[in-house]
Amino acid sequence: GQNIDQPTEMTATEGAIVQINCTYQTSGFNGLFWYQQHAGEAPTFLSYNVLDGLEEKGRFSSFLSRSKGYSYLLLKELQMKDSASYLCAVRADYKLSFGAGTTVTVRA
């Protein structure tokens, strides 16, 4: 199986920037996903990285370094609605494994 680590909780202020790190150990790497999950709701797809580098999508960006087994999700211009759990998921041998998630709380 995969070993996926991400912080349990993070708190930030509205309008600020937060970076959620994810480290993983795996073989057969096929890609890394970030999902957002609001309490009591389904995970929703945010981003996908398969090559090294930064992918930008509006206020959200995701970075991947395959050699370091490392990714981060960057949330800019935080809004209250960004309070949620952010799940890092690694696809290896075409099977997806999830980290436990990072709960982000945005304060006014």
Partner 1 sequence: EAGVAQSPRYKIIEKRQSVAFWCNPISGHATLYWYQQILGQGPKLLIQFQNNGVVDDSQLPKDRFSAERLKGVDSTLKIQPAKLEDSAVYLCASSLSDGTDTQYFGPGTRLTVL
Interface residues with partner 1 (CB under 8 A) are: 4, 30, 33, 35, 40-45, 48, 87, 89, 91, 94-101
Rounded to a whole number of angstroms, the minimum distance from the CB of residue 70 to partner 1 is: 18
Going from the C-alpha of 65 to that of each of 9, 51, 68, 96, 97, the distances in angstroms are 23, 8, 5, 18, 18
Give the whole-angstrom CA distance, residue 47 versus residue 35.
7
Task: Pick the closer one to partner 1 by CB: 4 or 73.
Answer: 4
Beta carbon of residue 89, minimum distance to partner 1 (angstroms, whole number): 7
